[in-house]
Amino acid sequence: MNWLLGNLLVFLCLLLVGCEPKTQSSVSTTEATEATLTISAAASLKDSMEDIKQLYSKEKPKVTLIYNFGASGALQQQIEQGAPVDIFISAASKQMDSLQEKGLLINDTRKNLLTNKVVLIVPKNAIAISGFKNLADANVKKVALAEPASVPAGKYAQEVLTSFGIFDKVKPKTVFGKDVRQVLNYVETGNVDAGIVYETDAKVSNKVRVVAIAANNLHSPIVYPVAVLKRSQTSAVASEFIQFLDGNQSKVVFEKYGFKFRS
Could you report the per-residue pLDDT of 216-254, keeping only the tens digit for each? 999 999 999 999 999 999 999 999 999 999 999 999 999
Examine domains 36-115+222-261 and 118-218 and report if their fold is the same.
Answer: yes
Write the pLDDT tens digit of every residue in 105-130: 999 999 999 999 999 999 999 988 99
DSSP string, 54-119: HHHHHH-TTEEEEEEEE-HHHHHHHHHTT---SEEE-SSHHHHHHHHHTT-B-GGG-EEEEE--EE
If we measure between CA atoms, which residue out of 241, 229, 239, 224 comes closest to residue 82?
Answer: 229
Q: What is the mean pLDDT of the chain?
A: 90
Report pLDDT for 32: 52
* 163: exposed, middle or buried (Cβ count in 10 Å: 0-12, 13-18, 19+): middle
Phi, psi values for residue 226, rounded to 5°: -130, 145
Does residue 11 carry a pLDDT above 70? no
Q: 165 by DSSP, 3-state: which?
A: coil
Q: What is the CA radius of gyration of the chain?
A: 25
Report pLDDT for 263: 56
Write the pLDDT tens digit of every residue in 43-91: 999 999 999 999 999 999 999 999 999 999 999 999 999 999 999 999 9
**Domain 36-115+222-261 is classified in which CATH homologous superfamily?**
Periplasmic binding protein-like II (3.40.190.10)
Contact indicator for 207, 224 with CB cutoff of 8 Å: no
Q: What is the 3-state composition of the chain as percent helix, strand, coil, each rounded to the nearest 5?
A: 45, 20, 30
Kindly indicate the confidence band of residue 181, based on its pLDDT and cuts at 50, 70 and 90: very high
Write the pLDDT tens digit of every residue in 196-218: 999 999 999 999 999 999 999 99
d(CA 89, CA 48): 13
Topology given in CATH for the domain delimited by 118-218: D-Maltodextrin-Binding Protein; domain 2 (3.40.190)
If we measure between CA atoms, which residue out of 67, 31, 40, 32 comes closest to residue 231?
Answer: 40
What are the sequence ranges of the domains in the chain?
Answer: 36-115+222-261, 118-218
Its pTM stands at: 0.84
